[in-house]
Amino acid sequence: MQTLTEDKAPPPPELFSSATGSERTVVRVGAVEIGAGQPVVIAGPCSVESYEQVLATAEAVKFAGAAILRGGAYKPRTSPYDFQGLEEEGLKLLAKAKRATGLGIITEVMSDRDVDLVADYADVLQIGARNMQNFALLKTLGKCNRPVLLKRGMSSTIKELLMSAEYVVAHGNPNVILCERGIRTFETVTRNTCDIAAVAALNELTHLPVILDPSHATGKRSLVPALARAGVAIGADGLIVEVHPAPEKAVSDGAQSLDIPQFHQMMRSLAPYIDLWKESRLTETAAAV
């Protein structure tokens, strides 16, 4: 007979959880591995504006050491009067830049209706901060055969981010990358407040790869390289950084976009941190066996 005091077995851990005992998830994007032996830099413009812009950025960031190209074709903008993105035309420009450079591409999908179309062009589907809890979209992504980059909502807790990842994994797609991109606080000097501890906390709580977006986290290009170094130092599996050949002319997020020489400089300044990162991951792997 069931009594009120009867012990119940604890529920199994969520699929994202380190408590499953699962090895670190490695997300493969062509030949690039996220969550494996080195941090991966994803770079490109906030918005895809033209072929010249996206190609110039792709060639430059590749030369500087970026492994994946970012660029928004569907843009979630606060004002409906702001540039909304080139939509499918933007996806075509990204695909052309991929053919020209060999870089894999990551781009945002805003609606479950667009998942199949965006997946036809993109290697990784980005879910923006504003859509982190769009559960219909998350369930659709579970059925899609592309990796997902899930950004933390600007007012979401770490646990809520993980539960959103759980939706995608539980619906059939294990390839989820988490992204800390800053949260909203009372601070106004920076656009958002970078919760740098979230990177370390997530690395404890989940086997999924965790990356940092120092561009949206600060909103200021002068602060991006310092935060990028901090991200690598604290163990992020990668960075996603906004870069534009002429940030003063960018249609979105120009103030936080690095120009090409600044991106090169950032990549140079990251090199010793990347070496330390590799060493510590090797030590961790050795300790685990």
Contact map string, positions 57 to 76, toward ligand PEP, x by CB under 6 A: ---------------x---x
Stretch touching Mn ion by CB under 5 A, among 60-68, 127-135, 182-190, 247-255: 247-255
Cα–Cα–Cα angle for 229, 283, 25, rounded to 5 degrees: 75
* Alpha-carbon distance values, 285 to 57, 163, 235, 288, 289 (Å): 35, 27, 14, 5, 7
Q: Which residue type does 215 have? A: S
CA distance 126 to 176: 10
Whether the Cβ atoms of residue 111 and residue 90 lie closer than 8 Å to each other = no
Least Å from the CB of residue 270 to Mn ion: 20
Strand (E) or helix (H) holding 40: strand 40-44
Per CB under 6 A, 244 contacts ligand PEP: no
Stretch touching ligand PEP by CB under 6 A, among 49-57, 126-134, 219-227, 276-284: 126-134
Whether the Cβ atoms of residue 106 and residue 74 lie closer than 8 Å to each other = no
CA distance 99 to 249: 26
DSSP E strands: which ranges in 75-225? 104-108, 124-127, 148-151, 176-180, 210-212
Per CB under 6 A, 191 contacts ligand PEP: no
Choose the one of Mn ion, ligand PEP, none that binds residue 221, judging by a C-beta under 5 to 8 angstroms depending on kind: none
Q: Is 21 left (phi over 0), alpha (psi -120 to 50) or beta?
A: left
Stretch touching ligand PEP by CB under 6 A, among 122-130, 168-176, 198-206, 272-280: 122-130
For the segment 14-73, give every residue that binds Mn ion (CB under 5 A).
Answer: 46
Per CB under 5 A, 108 contacts Mn ion: no
* Nearest to ligand PEP of 35, 128 (CB atom): 128
Of 46, 61, 122, 227, which lies in the binding site for ligand PEP, with binding defined by CB under 6 A? 46
* Nearest to ligand PEP of 132, 281 (CB atom): 132
Per CB under 6 A, 216 contacts ligand PEP: yes
* Nearest to Mn ion of 46, 217 (CB atom): 46
List interacting residues with ligand PEP (CB under 6 A).
Answer: 46, 72, 76, 128-130, 151, 181, 216
